[in-house]
Structure 1
Amino acid sequence: MFAGKRPLSRSTIKFASRLLLGRSRAHFQDHFPGLRLDRSRASGRIFYRGIEAGSLHQTDILCCDNAAAAIYVVGSGPSINECDLRRVESRTAILLNGAIHLMALDIPEPLAVAVEDERFVWRHFDLMRERVVPGTICLLSVGVIRAICERDMRWLADKRVILVDNIKKPYKHKRRESSELRALDFVVVSEGPEQAGISLDPDKGVFQGGSVAISAVQFAMACRPRLIGLFGIDIVNADQPRFYETTGGAAYSGIARAEKRIIPHFVLAKEIASARNITFLNFSAISALRRYEFGYDDRFSRVGSEAAQ
């Protein structure tokens, strides 16, 4: 129905917000019109057009017993087809965007799902309705929550939503400049032109670095697992169909174009994690991360798994 793009009305609101509100408040379009998030208490509430639509939770609900050992961040790159995900323990995987397909395949009980770009909602809301079961932890951005409410606000009622708030452009607050970000006591910001950042307290906001995987990693790090594993974070082959798509039927992906923005966040996350005794492992043999000391680990390789049977 929407061909993967925002409806014209949303594009108009986005343009008008930039024009009327200026750079510092243009992101207010994410919650306009009708979305209000009440975070006055630990357990927050979601309102849409004055009606309560769902509840907001804190990051601690992610940090279950299984997640203490390992949390896997699962993207939708083509390399997923080379991995035996049946061996991923239940309630350890954060499924990003189209990886939600795996809930009907190899990962029926993920730790959470994460969607940060509202365009995914416009293109794949039927998938979300079909696969994301009641009680699922959902990491959702402001814009995604509002887009879901526009499609069907009832969907949120039985999900456990954790807000993915953009630390640079926080909900109902003006854009933070670099000096303001560096002054925050719960963030680490790198030097250099890309100015990568990692939030140590994702309930107060996360750095959105060109891929929802960056946000998911910050939530994973907050749980302090011994291992954070990366599946399907390929980056280099974004021109190829995702693992669930067919040739000729693939939606556009800008992730390869954003590589220079994405990689510094991963590198910084790995440095911080190492100091906290958290190990990063990359399970994609073709990932761009291999060029940045995220060595390939083949323990989930489908070839090795089938040979052992």
Structure 2
Amino acid sequence: MSTFFKQIYRYTRPRAYRHNENLWPYVKIARAPSGEITSLRYRGESVKIQKISSLQRRHTGNILITATGPSINDMDFSRFPAMPVMGVNGAYALRDKINFQFYVIVDMTFIDKKIEMVQGVISDPAITLFTTLHGVVKIINAFTTSKIQCKVVIIEDACYKIYERKVIPVQILDTYRNAKDVSICPGHKHIAFSNDIRSGIFDAGTVVYWALQIAAFMGFQTVYIAGLDMNNFAQPRFYENETNKLPCFLDEKFASLIEPAFRHASIVLKKKGVTVKNLSKHSALGNDIFEKVDFYDVH
């Protein structure tokens, strides 16, 4: 992005708006009363996006979320029951074994470092890709708009909404205490779960937390998660090896953020009638959070 425009943006807006500096003035958006971004223009060109509202409670039944822990290597997906599949980040390495209907990418470093996987996702018309506006911009800059064959849904971090003031963790309670579709964790005021992703999704250090909020919003009643190991963080992800693995910082956030966030999500989802089953037998997340089931016992 132009350094000139970035400097103008910095000098004309408070620091709390700094997360938008690479977008202005190239990105123009419109929002619905629900809060979701409904139209996008980038560098004067209209970008086709699917409205989040069109997906609300559109689905029922089961969904499989494929994360990227090493336990994926022990799973034979040809023996898993047919159901919609949502991939995250490098799960696309399973493309020869799984047909993805949904995909979530919110890690900008992943887009930078694994661009060939991103290219595969955006080239598939059968996939609905959930990504941030920053992700859309990165993809367009890398491939051009014409190369995007998948459907694109823009999602936002509820604490870093586009052209709005950022919300730091200690401000989450005061900012969202009266939002009827936001559930704030009683014991950890910096942790929340969104029941209506049109107004933003809450981060908890891992893309799977985003995926859970999306799946519940779409109406799925049973969520199976593969590869949610949350241990052996020094090991490569299932699609990596020691020479090409990306850094992993989950161990630094597990006790203070990730574990309590998933514990909170389990409570919220149970109240909504959504069941989550963890297919990683040795996951660091206990049975009291998500029930662990054997991959080959799912029918």
What does 1:75-224 correspond to in 2, within 5 Å? 75-89=67-81, 92-103=84-95, 105-108=96-99, 110-132=100-122, 133-154=124-145, 157-176=148-167, 177-178=171-172, 179-193=174-188, 195-224=190-219
Task: Name the amino acid aligned to 2:204.
Answer: G
CA offset digits 1:113-135 (Å, max 9, x no partner): 10001111111222222344024
Question: TM-score scaled by structure 2?
Answer: 0.85
Aligned residue pairs total 291
Task: Name the amino acid aligned to 2:202.
Answer: F
CA distance in 2, matches of 1:146, 1:173: 18
Task: Name the amino acid aligned to 1:300.
Answer: Y
| Correspondence for 1:6 | none
Shift, 1:217, TM fit: 0.3
The answer as to 2:285 corresponding to 1:294 is: no
CA offset digits 1:130-173 (Å, max 9, x no partner): 34402420010122112112212325643221222111121111
| Contact 1:194/1:264 (<8 A) preserved | no
Query: Percent of counterpart pairs with the same letter?
Result: 21
CA distance in 2, matches of 1:242, 1:191: 33
| Correspondence for 1:69 | 61
Q: CA RMSD in A?
A: 3.1
CA distance in 2, matches of 1:15, 1:191: 40
Question: TM-score scaled by structure 1?
Answer: 0.82
Shift, 1:36, TM fit: 2.8
Shift, 1:46, TM fit: 2.7
The answer for unaligned runs of 5 or more in structure 1 is 1-8
Judged with a 3 Å threshold, the aligned counterparts in structure 2 of structure 1 residues 122 and 129 are, in CA distance, closer, same or farther, namely: same
| Contact 2:6/2:24 (<8 A) preserved | no
The answer as to 2:260 corresponding to 1:264 is: yes
Matched residue SS, 1:139 = strand
Judged with a 3 Å threshold, the aligned counterparts in structure 2 of structure 1 residues 19 and 297 are, in CA distance, closer, same or farther, namely: farther
Judged with a 3 Å threshold, the aligned counterparts in structure 2 of structure 1 residues 16 and 193 are, in CA distance, closer, same or farther, namely: farther
Task: Name the amino acid aligned to 1:130.
Answer: G
Shift, 1:276, TM fit: 2.0
CA offset digits 1:217-258 (Å, max 9, x no partner): 001111332211111111212211111112222111112222
CA distance in 1, matches of 2:148, 2:31: 17
CA distance in 2, matches of 1:227, 1:14: 45
The answer for unaligned runs of 5 or more in structure 2 is none
Task: Name the amino acid aligned to 1:92.
Answer: P
| Contact 1:234/1:284 (<8 A) preserved | yes
